[in-house]
Each structure stands twice: as C-alpha cells, then as structure tokens.
Amino acid sequence: MKIIQLQLYVLICCRAAVSDQLTDPGSDVTINCDLEENEVYWILLRTPDPPTVILRTFPTPQSPFYTNKTLRNKYSVQFKHRLVINNVTANELGVYYCMNTDSPPKLSNSTRLHFTESTQLSKCHNHTAVEFIDQNQKQWQIIIIISGLIIGLLLIVLIGLVKVFVVGNRRSAERSHINTDLQQNQVTEEQDLQYATMDFSKLRRNIRPSQINSTYAALNLPKS
C-alpha cells in the first residue's frame, strides 16, 4: 500500500487535468474511469491528507476489495469500473482518480467533486446565522450574570441595613430601660433618706427637768 501511495504522489504531481463535478448533499454520484483496464484502484485525494485507496476492482462478477470495511456502505462499482458514491456528504468531497494495477502505473483524468454554489452559500448563511445566534446567546448570558451579581449585591446591602436598623432599635430600647431603672433607683433612695430623718422635738419633750439639772450641775465647774 505504501508503494501505491508513492506512485500516486508521483503521478498526481505530474498531472494537471482536472474536471469538476457538482452535486448536492445527500445525492448519489457516479464517476467514470477512462482507463481501459481489467482491474483498477479507486483513489481519493483530500489535501492536506495523503491519497486514500478506496477499493480495488476485479473482472466481473467478482466483487471489489475494500481497504476499509466501513466504505462498503458509501462506495460501489458499476460497469466499466464506474465508481458510485451513495448519499454524498462533505466527507466525500475531493479529487478522485482511478489507476491500473499493473506496471507501469497509469492514472486517469481526475474528477473534483464539490457542492453547488447555492449549497455552499446556504452553508455560509447557516454558519453565519449560527455564529450570530451564538454571539447573542453569549451576550444574554453575560447580561444575566451581571444582573444576578447586581441583585445579589442589592440583597446583601438591604439585609445589612435591616440588621443595622433592628440592632439600633434594640440598643435604644435597652438604653431607655436602663435609664428608667436608674430613675426608679434614685426615687427609692430619696424615699429611704426621707424616712431616715428623726424628729428631735419629740425627744426634747420626753426629757425631764431633773435630768437636765443634774446634767447641768455635773457640767458646772467648782468655783475657786
């Protein structure tokens, strides 16, 4: 297989005849082989990938040999080694060759398979629309995130203000309660002081004259 790829590199570099074949996605395409050979290789070239050998044909009624089993559902061969591509997608676009299996190698004229311009334009428009939608979605996501952050900050500020207001009311209530208690204590102390004063006039009435005279006599000093 490596020898075949090297031969393909040399032959492809020496050839410039390329015919274009237009198709639409999902269509079936038939590519002719202009070599008068009993057996050929069908090759697909998609730059920058190396040439890919799709299958090898044999004289009828023998079925072709596929280099990869997954290619059976996509490629088939008709009379005179014509290659049939079923349900064309972007993966099948490229340049197709057929090459003989004997020496010296011969390479057919190439066929470049690509989609029509309307399909390409629609793809470009779809791609542009998808990009526009993606950009809008990103912008809306950014706006939603910023709005969420602003709302979160406002909620935090509001909760802080409520806490400050509640704590301030509690402190003012505690201070007023303390002041009330202090006033009540002062009133109680004043009442206790008033009740503690004594009436000395009543005490004077209860003292007898004899007691006063004896006391006065005791206090008088002896005359010299």
The pLDDT value recorded for residue 87 is 94
Tokens of 64: 């072709």
Give the bridge partners for 58, in sequence order.
none
pLDDT digits (tens, 9 = 90+) for 191-224: 655 554 555 455 455 555 555 555 555 555 555 5
Name the average pLDDT for the chain: 77
Say if residue 4's pLDDT is above 70: no
Say if residue 111's pLDDT is above 90: yes
pLDDT digits (tens, 9 = 90+) for 21-57: 999 999 999 999 989 888 999 999 988 888 899 999 9
Residue 81 neighbours by CB under 8 Å, 6+ apart:
33, 35, 37, 40, 42, 57, 98
Cα separation of 151 and 145, whole Å?
10
Does the domain formed by 2-115 have CATH 2.60.40.420?
A: no
The pLDDT value recorded for residue 113 is 94
pLDDT digits (tens, 9 = 90+) for 56-83: 998 877 889 999 999 999 999 988 899 9
Residue 93 Cα distances to 53, 71, 88, 112, 212, angstroms: 15, 14, 8, 8, 145
Residue 20 neighbours by CB under 8 Å, 6+ apart:
111, 112, 114
